[in-house]
Amino acid sequence: MSSETIKKADEVIMGTYKRFPTVIEKGKGCRLWDKEGRSYTDFVAGIAVCNLGHAHPSVVKSLSNQADILFHVSNLYYTFPQIELASWLVENSFADQVFFCNSGAEANEAAIKLARKYFSEKGEKGRYRIIAMEKSFHGRTMATLSATGQDKLKKGFDPVLEGFDFVPFNDAKALEDKIEPSTCAILIEPVQGEGGVRCPDPDYLQSVRRICDEAGILLIFDEIQTGIGRTGKLFAYEHFGVKPDIMTLAKALANGLPIGAMLAREQIASAFVPGSHASTFGGTPVITAASLEVLKVIEKEKIVEHCREIGVYFKERLLWLKERHEVIEDVRGIGLLLGMKLKTDGGPIVKKCMDQGFLINCIQDCILRFIPPLIIEKSDIDALVKCLDEILMAS
Ligand SMILES: *Cc1c(COP(=O)(O)O)cnc(C)c1O
C-alpha cells in the first residue's frame, strides 16, 4: 500500500528530501500513526515544531473558529489576531515591535534587511556586512544560505551573496578580530541546532553582547529553533542574561502552521517604514489566531517549566547511556534540544528506532538529535532510552 504511494510521490515531488519510506497519516499528542496503522512516539516533533504535540484540542478549536470568521485580507488592513499575537510577543520578550512572515528563512531575511536598513537610515550606507558562525544554519533562501556557515549546503549555488563573514562559535576573540568598519551585525543561534546541538560556553554570549555594544553593531539572535520554550525558557537568551537587538522566530510559533516573526527594539524597528518590506500572507488571521492560542496554552499549562524539568531528566538518561556504551562520544544540549554524538554513523540507529516505534533524528551524520513535543512524559523517555540501550547493546 505505502510502496505505491511512495512511488507516486517520488515521481511528482522534487527530490529535495531523503524521506523515510513511511506515510504518516495522523497524530495525537506525542503519538503518530502511519498508513499501515503502526504507531510511533514522536521525538522529532516535525523538526522542533509541534511543541504541544499533534492535534492539540484548543489549538484546533481556535484555528477552526477563526477560519469561520476571516481567512485573509492582506496587510493593507488591520486584523485582530495579528495585533493580539504581536502584543503577546512584545509583552513577553525584549522587543517592542514585530514583523510577521511565513517561515524561518523569511524571518532571517527580514532581520538581515532590517540591520542593513538601520545603518543606511543613519547615513552609514557602507555598513552592511554580517558576521555569522561556522556550522550555523539560517535557512535556504539566497541570503540566509549565504549567512549559513556550512559550505556543503552552498554547493552548486554560487555565487552566494556577498557581505557575510564567518568565525567559529564560542570564540569571542575571533569574533572581535573579524569586525570591520563595514560590519553592521552579528547573527547567531544562542544554541546551534542543525549544526550539531552546540551550547554556548558560560559567558560567551555576554562577551558577544559586549563586543556588539563596543563596536556599535547589532546583535541578532536566530531563535527559530530555540524559541517558544524549547530550551526550558520561553526564549533561549533568557538563560544567558543577554538580550539581542533583533530576534527571529518560526518553527514552533504556531505548532505546525507556517509562520515566521522578526522582533526588534523600537529604535531599530523604526528603520522599516511603509514600503520597506512586506509579505502577502505574513500574520494572516487564521495562523496568528492559532499561534496566539499556542502561546496561551504554553503559559497556562506551564509547558516551559515542564520542558525544563523533563529536559534535565532526559539528559541524565542519555548520560546514563553514555556510561554504558563506548560508541557514545558526547551528550549535550539544553531543555528538550538534546544531542548525542556517536563515533559512528547514526543513520542505522534512527532506522532501528523507527522499526521499534520511535521517531528520532540524525544530523551531521553522527549526531542523534532529540527534539520531542515539550509535553513528552517520563514514561516515553524511559521507553526510548530502553530501546536505544538494546540497539546499542546489539550493535
Ligand atoms: C529551521 C531553521 C531555520 C529555517 O527555517 P525555515 O522555516 O525552514 O525556513 C533558520 N534558522 C534556524 C536556527 C533553524 O533551525
Q: Are residues 120 and 259 in the same domain?
A: yes
Paired strand residues for 99: 262
Q: Is the pLDDT of residue 121 over 80?
A: yes
Q: Are residues 69 and 122 in the same domain?
A: yes
Which of the residues 164, 166, 169, 222 is marked catalytic? Answer: 222
> What domain range includes position 192?
58-300
CA-nearest residue, atom 15 of ligand 1: 225
Residue ending a domain, choose from 249, 275, 300: 300
Q: Are residues 262 and 188 in the same domain?
A: yes
CA-nearest residue, atom 5 of ligand 1: 104
In three-state secondary structure terms, 12 is helix
Q: Are residues 281 and 247 in the same domain?
A: yes
pLDDT band at 1, cuts 50/70/90? low
Ligand 1 centroid to residue 142 C-alpha, Å: 13
Q: Does ligand 1 lie within 6 Å of residue 193's CB atom?
A: yes
Rounded to the nearest integer, the mean pLDDT of the chain is: 97
Q: Are residues 290 and 203 in the same domain?
A: yes
Q: Are residues 313 and 294 in the same domain?
A: no
Burial of 4 (0-12, 13-18, 19+ CB in 10 A): exposed
Mutation to probe ligand 1, out of 224, 248, 363 (largest number of atoms < 8 A from CB): 224
Handedness of CA 340, 346, 351, 356 (dihedral sign): negative
- CATH label of the domain that carries residue 175: 3.40.640.10
Burial of 12 (0-12, 13-18, 19+ CB in 10 A): exposed
Amino acid identity for residue 358 in this structure: F
Residue ending a domain, choose from 279, 300, 321: 300
Q: Are residues 51 and 188 in the same domain?
A: no
Average pLDDT on 317-332 reads 98
Active site residue 251: yes
pLDDT at 222: 99
Q: Are residues 282 and 327 in the same domain?
A: no
Ligand 1 centroid to residue 194 C-alpha, Å: 9
Helices then strands, each counted (H, E), the chain: 14, 15
How far CA 174 is from CA of 166, 170, 221, 274, in Å, comes to 9, 9, 18, 38
112 touches 130 (CB < 8 A): yes
pLDDT tens digits for 129-162? 999 999 999 999 999 999 999 999 999 999 999 9
Active site residue 157: no
Share of the chain above pLDDT 70, in %: 100
Q: Does ligand 1 lie within 6 Å of residue 183's CB atom?
A: no
Q: H-type helices in 122-162, by residue range?
A: 142-146, 151-154
Q: Are residues 361 and 259 in the same domain?
A: no
**128 vs 163: CA distance, rounded Å:** 7
Residue ending a domain, choose from 300, 326, 361: 300
252 secondary structure, DSSP code: G
User: Number of structural domains, the chain?
Assistant: 2
Q: Locate cell 519510506: which residue?
A: 21
Which of the residues 94, 99, 240, 251 is marked catalytic? Answer: 251
Ligand 1 centroid to residue 190 C-alpha, Å: 13
pLDDT at 395: 85
**344 vs 362: CA distance, rounded Å:** 12
Q: Does ligand 1 lie within 6 Å of residue 103's CB atom?
A: yes
pLDDT tens digits for 200-252? 999 999 999 999 999 999 999 999 999 999 999 999 999 999 999 999 999 99
Q: Are residues 130 and 251 in the same domain?
A: yes
Q: Are residues 181 and 36 in the same domain?
A: no
pLDDT tens digits for 242-299? 999 999 999 999 999 999 999 999 999 999 999 999 999 999 999 999 999 999 999 9
- CATH label of the domain that carries residue 45: 3.90.1150.10
CA-nearest residue, atom 11 of ligand 1: 138
Active site residue 137: yes
Q: Does ligand 1 lie within 6 Å of residue 189's CB atom?
A: yes
Q: Are residues 355 and 224 in the same domain?
A: no
